[in-house]
Amino acid sequence: MKTKHYTFAVVFLLAAFSLFSTDSFAQPGRYGRGHGYGRYHHSVRYYPQRNYYHNQPYVSIAFGGSYYRYQRGYYYRPYGASFQVIVPPFGIRIGSLPIGYRRVYVGPDPYYYYHGTYYRPYEGNQYEVVAPPLGAVVDELPVGAKVTVIDGQKYYELNGTYYQEEITADNELQYTVVGTDGVLNTDNTPAAEPVEPAVGDRFDALPADSKAVVIKGEKMYLSPSGMYYKEVVEGNKVYYEIVGK
């Protein structure tokens, strides 16, 4: 009887150890080296067998004898075995504006702004990348803009474009394009005002201090400026769309 009990105990312990070991060593294989995706602040890994970057679709654009990739508002160019984020060349065109763009007018002319890139409408429902227009007013600086002081005045400069900081009547910061191609032009700069976001515009984040409210059983967000936003989920991304004021 002792031998039978001893044999049963040994078999039970061996089975338990085998189950524990299999589960433990299986975990690294699920999330290990084979499924890692590199970050792409300056460059992007490209997987030829998959028609996307990091599970996201892109658009291939031929322009000026070169090929570019466009994805979610950013442009890439081949760099060795990967792709590198670049400033898009003037004249390149896309079929739809990136989510979160800003609409601005310089005189009667409409432009669209997204993280330092300016577009203007082009025939065939396209949008063309253009040089920053003098007088354009935006509510955020492009990433990488640096402070520079000229004749005792502070400006922000990036790639030859100069921005001048101002405070609005609503105590908010805005930035006006006052120089391009490395040349300041603060005289006779046409006045321009940023256009208020419109119904249907989408953004990656809610304005600061927005509050959740329930209207007719549906959750909305009310911004300090009186705009109502609703949450929109597309794929693995969450957006906030203006639905009224």
C-beta of residue 121 within 8 angstroms of C-beta of residue 130: no
Regarding whether 145 and 170 lie in a shared domain, the answer is yes
pLDDT tens digits, residue range 82-111? Answer: 889 998 999 999 999 999 999 999 988 899
Regarding whether 107 and 50 lie in a shared domain, the answer is no
133 is a domain residue: yes
**Number of residues assigned to the chain:** 245
Measured between its terminal Cα atoms, the distance across the chain in Å is 83
Q: Kindly indicate the confidence band of residue 237, based on its pLDDT and cuts at 50, 70 and 90.
A: confident
Nearest to 46 by CA among 71, 14, 15, 11: 71
35 is a domain residue: no
11 is a domain residue: no
C-beta of residue 125 within 8 angstroms of C-beta of residue 131: no
119 is a domain residue: yes
**More confident call, 22 vs 15:** 15
Regarding whether 174 and 147 lie in a shared domain, the answer is yes
196 is a domain residue: no
C-beta of residue 58 within 8 angstroms of C-beta of residue 52: yes
pLDDT on residue 95: 92
- Among the candidates 153, 184, 215, a domain finishes at 184
Q: Kindly indicate the confidence band of residue 245, based on its pLDDT and cuts at 50, 70 and 90.
A: confident
To the nearest whole number, what is the mean pLDDT of the chain? 78
Regarding whether 101 and 79 lie in a shared domain, the answer is no
pLDDT on residue 24: 40
pLDDT tens digits, residue range 188-198? Answer: 444 455 566 78
- Burial classification of residue 227, based on how many CB atoms lie within 10 Å of its CB (0-12 exposed, 13-18 middle, 19 or more buried): buried
Regarding whether 179 and 108 lie in a shared domain, the answer is yes
The total domain count for the chain is: 3
**More confident call, 8 vs 91:** 91
Which residue segment(s) compose the domain that 135 sits in?
A: 94-184
pLDDT on residue 132: 93
Q: What are phi and psi of 65, to 5 degrees?
A: 80, 5
pLDDT on residue 6: 54
pLDDT on residue 121: 92
Regarding whether 160 and 143 lie in a shared domain, the answer is yes
Interior CA angle at 145 toward 139 and 147, to 5°?
100
Q: Hey, what are 73's tokens?
A: 């508002």
Amino acid at 240: Y
164 is a domain residue: yes
Q: What is the DSSP letter of 133?
A: P
22 is a domain residue: no
pLDDT on residue 80: 86
Regarding whether 179 and 163 lie in a shared domain, the answer is yes
Buried b (16+ CB within 10 A) or exposed e, 147-156: eeeeeeeebb
Regarding whether 158 and 124 lie in a shared domain, the answer is yes
Regarding whether 180 and 102 lie in a shared domain, the answer is yes
Question: How far is the C-alpha of 220 from the C-alpha of 210, rounded, in Å?
Answer: 10
Neighbours of 192 (CB within 10 A): 20
Scan for tokens 């597309």, then name that residue.
234
Regarding whether 239 and 212 lie in a shared domain, the answer is yes
Q: Kindly indicate the confidence band of residue 177, based on its pLDDT and cuts at 50, 70 and 90.
A: very high
Lowest mean pLDDT among 14-18, 31-35, 98-102, 219-223: 31-35
C-beta of residue 56 within 8 angstroms of C-beta of residue 99: no
Q: Kindly indicate the confidence band of residue 31, based on its pLDDT and cuts at 50, 70 and 90.
A: very low
Contacts made by residues 163-169, CB under 8 angstroms, sequence distance 24+: 163/138
Regarding whether 146 and 101 lie in a shared domain, the answer is yes
pLDDT tens digits, residue range 36-86? Answer: 333 333 334 433 333 444 456 788 999 988 899 999 899 999 888 888 999
Question: How far is the C-alpha of 43 from the C-alpha of 63, rounded, in Å?
Answer: 20
**More confident call, 146 vs 238:** 146
pLDDT on residue 4: 54
113 is a domain residue: yes
Scan for tokens 């669209």, then name that residue.
112
Regarding whether 112 and 75 lie in a shared domain, the answer is no
Rg (CA), the chain: 27
